Amino acid sequence: MREMGELGSSSSPSPSSSIAHSSVFHSYPLISAVLAFAIAQSIKFFTTWYKERHWDAKQLIGSGGMPSSHSATVTALALAIGIQDGLDSSAFATAAILAFVVMCDAFGVRLHAGKQAEVLNQIMYELPEEHPLSVTRPLHELLGHTPIQV
């Protein structure tokens, strides 16, 4: 057992020195997740240009549409953690459950919220001009994904 005087010795690395040696730029799971998000958003951007022949910068940061950047991000994160820590690790189990929840939310709750926004926008467009809600900004309709997009 260590003596009280040995606790402050420099034989073991201090927490601050170990933090200095680690960097988020060396985090394989983080890099994988961010890269997957960027690729998915870029695909949306170029797909919109190909289909509609105009650039839509909102596609670089917007949600909804094909492919799902949320699903790509959490899938890449879970896969990278599985490769790095093993498929039997607690970190992988946590990431896999997170990915499942995010993907279910994308084609469940958020898809239906987007459909409800479409109906509400249609109702608002049909309101007479003197109605107080007639000047309300339209709701964002493209919130969720179909199962294929996820």
Among the listed residues 61, 37, 36, the one whose alpha carbon sits nearest the alpha carbon of residue 48 = 61
Domain that holds residue 117: 28-49+67-126
Q: Are the C-beta atoms of 33 and 77 separated by less than 8 Å?
A: yes
pLDDT value of residue 2: 41
Over residues 28-51, mean pLDDT? 86
Residue from 69, 45, 68 nearest 58 by CA: 45
Q: Which of 56-70, 80-94, 113-127 has the highest average model confidence (pLDDT)?
A: 80-94
Residue 78 resides in a domain: yes
53 φψ region: left (φ > 0), alpha (ψ -120 to 50), beta (else): left
Query: What is the total count of domains within the chain?
Result: 1
The residue that leads in pLDDT, 123 or 17, is 123
Is 135 domain-assigned? no
pLDDT at 7 > cutoff 50: no
For residues 41 and 3, the model is more confident at 41
Q: What pLDDT, on a 0 to 100 scale, did the predictor assign at position 73?
A: 92
Sign of the CA dihedral with 36 first, then 70, 111, and 96 last: positive
* Position 9 confidence tier, pLDDT thresholds 50, 70, 90: very low
Q: Which CA distances in Å does 136 have to 39, 40, 108, 125? A: 34, 32, 26, 10
Q: What is the mean pLDDT of the chain?
A: 75
Task: Give domain status of residue 86, yes or no.
Answer: yes
% of the chain with per-residue pLDDT over 90: 26
User: What distance lies between CA 106 and its chain's CA centroid?
Assistant: 10
Asked whether residue 14 is assigned to any structural domain, the reply reads: no
> Can you give the pTM of this predicted structure?
0.59
User: What tokens were used for 89?
Assistant: 């690790």
69 or 74, which is more confident: 74
Burial letters for 54-84: b for 16+ Cβ neighbours within 10 Å, e otherwise? eeeeebeebbbbebbbbbbbbbbbbbbbbee
Residue 143 within a domain: no
Single-letter code of the amino acid located at 107:
F
Distance CA 30, CA 129 (A): 50
Assess if residue 101 is contained within a domain: yes
